[in-house]
A and B are shown apart, each in its own frame.
Chain A
């Protein structure tokens, strides 16, 4: 290649002719932008929000997925009108009598009865198709078969026995009556939605900060940024701010969904909920930052993030109460950040507890966030 380089003079660039201003035929004067202390912060935040908006997967995982999860679990575990007990009666003399008695009982709407040969009835009991098996003993009495460790079967035993005895003419010495209720606040969906909120804030904090940072490091974008006069603190602040904006939308959507679709009642103030959400977001953002402080590849940070989150999915009471774990481990479970966040959200949303009553939980979050942040600043690799 031997051609010489064209060196365009300042006045003879043909590209600008069409844009000339009518005044003096000069090159159009583009005004340089004026920047101030916060221009960098504002632009990083703006760029981050635009990128998120243009990433359909983010919209799905952050906003749509939690709603689908709430909808699915809310329907699966909705409170049925009344629990029915299913009972198998073993064929033989006396079976017909039991059937007639149960069908004429006042509880007949909640009892499902079938008459079966013995072997088949026992088989189906083992498989969980029936809660209990009733066998005539041939002398006018009956025997119950069930597994006492299954609460459904224990309930069925009481119900069937009651139905049988009262239909056969037993008189209760004490008159009682029952009023049932299924008020919002005590249902599974009421327990679930604050848990989903907490889990969602953990997920998006860890992925939105941890994964995003390692991706930028792998693309050498972090290095490119620190090669400019950009303030590193502005960069981290902008990432945090973008998380907080998303947090408001995440919490708002999921809570409104609960209120509208499942008639959830939010007892605490929305402001308190948002403040707790903000603390949770920032805490998990800081843990995400720590997770991302050294990793060079997105594969390695993905593994790390899952390792950090896995125990909290299981122990922190997202889908079921952590009180079911042995009492010895409860203090450890309560010291996990997601447990503190879930408990704080539940106490506010379901019981209307004020912020002041939650000092311990907020402190747990603050400690996790603060210590992670300090360690992350020491170890974080920008290049």
Chain B
């Protein structure tokens, strides 16, 4: 069985200067849910639109279900469902009319009633699209992708701007599709979404994949699963808010069980990646006491993909 989605050394340069994608390779197996995670402008949408056959790559190869866009475009369109980032469907058509319209393009569509039921839109079936809430519109966008009975589903930021309940509803729908044997490729800049939904992830930054693996793998690579965040003030060494300097961080990195240390910008907090918090925290308290400093703040939490991203790029995912 060929991989569901495969691309090799994709490059896309706009107007001969802006390099949106700079040599990106992926292989996604049938039945997988794969996520492209990265900040805005990282090249996620360009990548997914090249895979969807909507953009021509400057160079590189794309194979979907063992076929390519040049020779099998129509066949490929029959077997994939797409939800673009922000499509505004016709507002003066009803939900049912919209689904009927999209189903008419496919040779073997699913029953529109069934898709509407699955996406919990049956009650809204006669409402105009213009009257739907944000969550309902997004579900309708996914319904237009599912009605063609696709094997591969492409979702570009499917839950951006939705409330938590609508997001979870969509996650369930995506899971359901995957359980029936479908392959999903989605882009997101939400960490929790990627962690919860995706079997494997690629972290994309500046048009390149900087890390790839299962969510657990990626977090493992941090070297520690726990994060300890704290802030100190006062003490003999003077201004500890200046601990952004290397010397300050070295001191914390030397504590037992600490894998890495970084300074959070803005709030003066120090953030440690730790594999054994029960050894690190007493040592940290001792060190603070020895210095005569005062602990202003202390929290511990599970490491997340956000930490992976910050570790790899030095930036937060959702930074402006």
Interface residues of A (CB under 8 A from B): 1, 3, 5-8, 15-16, 30-33, 35, 39-40, 42-44, 46-47, 50-51, 54-55, 219-221, 223-230, 383
Does the CB pair B78–A229 fall under 8 Å? yes
Q: Does B175 contact A (CB under 8 A)?
A: yes
Does the CB pair B92–A220 fall under 8 Å? no
Does the CB pair A5–B175 fall under 8 Å? yes
Does the CB pair B144–A224 fall under 8 Å? yes
Of B53, B102, B192, the most chain A CB neighbours within 10 A belong to B102
Does the CB pair A15–B117 fall under 8 Å? yes
Bitwise, B97-136 to A at CB < 8 A (1) or not (0) is 1001111111111111110010010100000100000000
Query: Could you say which of B97, B110, B128, B171 contacts A5, with CB atoms under 8 Å apart?
Result: B171
- Please name 7 pairs of A and B residues whose Cβ atoms are closer than 8 Å in the assembled complex, sorted by A: A33-B104, A33-B112, A51-B90, A220-B87, A227-B52, A227-B84, A228-B148
Tell me the complex Cα distance, A219–B128, Å: 17
- Give the residue name and chain of the B residue nearest to A6 (CB): B172
Q: How many residues of B contact A (CB 8 A)?
A: 47
* Given known A35-B109, A40-B104, A227-B84, contact A51–B93 (CB-CB < 8 A): yes
* Given known A35-B104, A42-B104, A43-B104, contact A224–B196 (CB-CB < 8 A): no
Tell me the complex Cα distance, A189–B310, Å: 76
- Give the residue name and chain of the A residue nearest to B94 (CB): A50
Tell me the complex Cα distance, A16–B122, Å: 11
Query: Could you say which of A33, A43, A224 contacts B82, with CB atoms under 8 Å apart?
Result: A224
* Given known A228-B105, A229-B78, contact A223–B84 (CB-CB < 8 A): yes
Does the CB pair B88–A219 fall under 8 Å? yes
Does the CB pair B117–A39 fall under 8 Å? no
- Give the residue name and chain of the B residue nearest to A51 (CB): B92
* Given known A219-B88, A227-B54, contact A7–B109 (CB-CB < 8 A): no
Q: Does B316 contact A (CB under 8 A)?
A: no
Instruction: With A226-B54, A228-B82 given, name 6 new contacts (CB 8 A).
Output: A32-B108, A40-B105, A54-B128, A229-B78, A229-B107, A383-B55
Does the CB pair B84–A30 fall under 8 Å? no
- Give the residue name and chain of the A residue nearest to B77 (CB): A229
A309 to chain B, nearest CB (A): 26
Give chain B residues whose Cβ lies under 8 Å from the Cβ of A8.
176
* Given known A5-B168, A47-B97, contact A220–B84 (CB-CB < 8 A): yes
Does the CB pair B196–A228 fall under 8 Å? no
Give chain B residues whose Cβ lies under 8 Å from the Cβ of A55.
92
Give chain A residues whose Cβ lies under 8 Å from the Cβ of B168.
1, 3, 5
Does the CB pair A224–B87 fall under 8 Å? yes
* Given known A40-B104, A51-B92, A230-B105, contact A31–B87 (CB-CB < 8 A): no
Give chain B residues whose Cβ lies under 8 Å from the Cβ of A227.
52-54, 77, 82, 84
Tell me the complex Cα distance, A44–B103, Å: 11
Of A16, A33, A42, the most chain B CB neighbours within 10 A belong to A33
Of A5, A16, A228, the most chain B CB neighbours within 10 A belong to A228
Does the CB pair B84–A32 fall under 8 Å? no
Give chain B residues whose Cβ lies under 8 Å from the Cβ of A51.
90, 92-93
A57 to chain B, nearest CB (A): 11
Q: Does B217 contact A (CB under 8 A)?
A: no
Give chain B residues whose Cβ lies under 8 Å from the Cβ of A54.
92, 128
Closest 4 CB pairs of A and B: A30-B111, A43-B104, A219-B88, A229-B77
Give chain B residues whose Cβ lies under 8 Å from the Cβ of A224.
82, 84, 87, 89, 144
Does the CB pair A50–B144 fall under 8 Å? no
Give chain A residues whose Cβ lies under 8 Å from the Cβ of B111.
30-33
Give chain B residues whose Cβ lies under 8 Å from the Cβ of A225.
105
Give chain A residues whose Cβ lies under 8 Å from the Cβ of B106.
35, 228-229
Does the CB pair A30–B113 fall under 8 Å? yes
Tell me the complex Cα distance, A55–B108, Å: 33
Q: Does B86 contact A (CB under 8 A)?
A: yes
Q: Does B179 contact A (CB under 8 A)?
A: yes
Does the CB pair A50–B92 fall under 8 Å? yes
Give chain A residues whose Cβ lies under 8 Å from the Cβ of B108.
32
* Given known A5-B168, A220-B87, A224-B87, contact A33–B100 (CB-CB < 8 A): yes
Tell me the complex Cα distance, A47–B100, Å: 10
Tell me the complex Cα distance, A383–B168, Å: 30
- Give the residue name and chain of the B residue nearest to A41 (CB): B104
Of A42, A224, A227, the most chain B CB neighbours within 10 A belong to A227
Q: Does B164 contact A (CB under 8 A)?
A: yes
Tell me the complex Cα distance, A62–B90, Å: 20
Tell me the complex Cα distance, A227–B111, Å: 20
Query: Could you say which of A15, A31, A47, A223 contacts B90, with CB atoms under 8 Å apart?
Result: A47
